[in-house]
Amino acid sequence: MVLACLVLVRSTPAAAYVRARTEKTFLPLFWTDPRKALEIALPPAGVGVTDAELRGAAQAAVSSWSYPRIACTGISLRLGGESMDSQVAGRDGKNRIIMRVGHWCRDPVALKFCHDEAAVAVTTLFSRRQPLSPKDGEILEADIELNAVDQFEWGIIPEGPISGRDFANIYDVASVLTHEMGHFIGLDHNCLPPKADPLVDDQDRPVPSCFDLPSDKQASIEDATMYPFTDTTDVRLRSLSPDETRAACEMYPIDSLPVYEWIGAGGCSHAPLAKPDGPLRVVAATILMAVLGLFLRMRRRTRPSQSTRNPAPIPRNQRLS
């Protein structure tokens, strides 16, 4: 299982992309078929977003990584039905998006596999652990959790000027979900947060520490969707950098799958996954915040923003009033 998470605070296209890898064999994680449906667990009352707003934000996020938004990729992510049954992020044959309240744990009932309270969101990947097999690293299932347990307030940030009084403490659901969808397809962060294991990018270069970025690459790394920090009112994660678009095409080329049939069918069902042939690997990736976010915010104030990308729009009827 692999776990991925988002950290707070960020700032033009990334210089490369980074794939999540197996811990022992160091092979990239991958979906055999990247045409996937994600089920949405209905958000509890009081989390700051309605069912319709969460679904609209999730639709914008899955579309950002999918054909036809990216014409050269075979990725086709779709939203399935809504669920109120299990709130457990586990190996149950369903890919889920969950707004977590009560306890910040993958299993909030048994209080097992609890997350870092500084994590804004976590994506857990379940993959095969079969060294020496071509199936080693195959992703079988993935669950995304948004932290509505601790100090995080959620909403939909409108485009254009906003009121600091109304949105100063709000994290943008669409931005964070777009980042987590990058983990969902098998991407890792583009720089190393504290305590992260060493990684290499798609050009086999060591991935730098987020706190020691090369000056000529700092802006492009901090402005990419897979940068591991975000902040309140931040909507830039909604838009992929050119290298993230390239990642979607190189990892899952459009000519490798009959993506048109999937889109034409308009289906959103998700059949239960078969039991794996061997032991599972669990990986979690997270987006963090708090003190780390404050530090990077202060550092970024010393230079002007160099962002040139526009956020992907969310359907008008899904915005907060």
**What is the structure's pLDDT at 82?**
83
Look at residue 189 and tell me if it is in a domain. Answer: yes
**Residues spanned by the domain of 10:** 2-315
**What is the structure's pLDDT at 2?**
56
Task: Kindly report the average pLDDT of the chain as a whole number.
Answer: 80
- In single-letter form, the type of residue at position 151 comes to Q
Look at residue 257 and tell me if it is in a domain. Answer: yes
Which of 153, 88, 158 lies closest to 289, judged by CA?
153
Q: How far apart are CA 294 and CA 300, in angstroms?
A: 10
**What is the structure's pLDDT at 311?**
33
**What is the structure's pLDDT at 112?**
86
Residue 128: phi, psi to the nearest 5? -75, 140
Count the neighbouring beta carbons within 10 Å of the beta carbon of residue 37: 19
Look at residue 239 and tell me if it is in a domain. Answer: yes
* Domain at 217, CATH number: 3.40.390.10
**What is the structure's pLDDT at 193?**
92
Q: How far apart are CA 244 and CA 257, in angstroms?
A: 20
pLDDT in tens, 262-285: 443 333 222 223 333 455 567 677
Please answer whether residues 175 and 61 qualify as being in contact, where contact means their C-beta atoms are separated by less than 8 angstroms: no
Look at residue 52 and tell me if it is in a domain. Answer: yes
* Token duo for residue 318: 């899904």
User: Which string of DSSP letters, residue by residue, matches 44-106?
Assistant: PTTSS--HHHHHHHHHHHHHHTSTTTSTTB--EEEEEEEE-S----SSSS--EEEEE-S--EE
pLDDT in tens, 47-94: 889 999 999 999 999 999 999 999 999 999 999 988 766 688 889 889
Look at residue 320 and tell me if it is in a domain. Answer: no
Give every CB contact of residue 284 below 8 A, 6+ residues apart in sequence. Answer: 1, 2, 3, 4, 5, 115, 122, 123, 124, 125
Residue 238: phi, psi to the nearest 5? -65, -25
pTM of full prediction above 0.85? no
Look at residue 113 and tell me if it is in a domain. Answer: yes
Burial of 56-68, coded b for 16+ CB within 10 Å and e otherwise, reads bbbbbbbbbbbbe
Question: At CA 33, angle to CA 265 and CA 259, rounded to 5?
Answer: 35
CA 293 to chain centre: 18
- pLDDT beneath 70: ranges in the chain: 1-15, 84-86, 161, 163-164, 257-281, 283, 287-321
**How many domains are there within the chain?**
1
Burial of 231-262, coded b for 16+ CB within 10 Å and e otherwise, reads bbbbbbbbbbbebbbbbbbebbebeebebeeb
Distances (CA, A) of 127 to 20, 69, 91, 145, 185: 11, 27, 10, 18, 12
Distances (CA, A) of 187 to 10, 114, 141: 18, 22, 14
Look at residue 83 and tell me if it is in a domain. Answer: yes
**What is the structure's pLDDT at 273?**
30
Look at residue 321 and tell me if it is in a domain. Answer: no
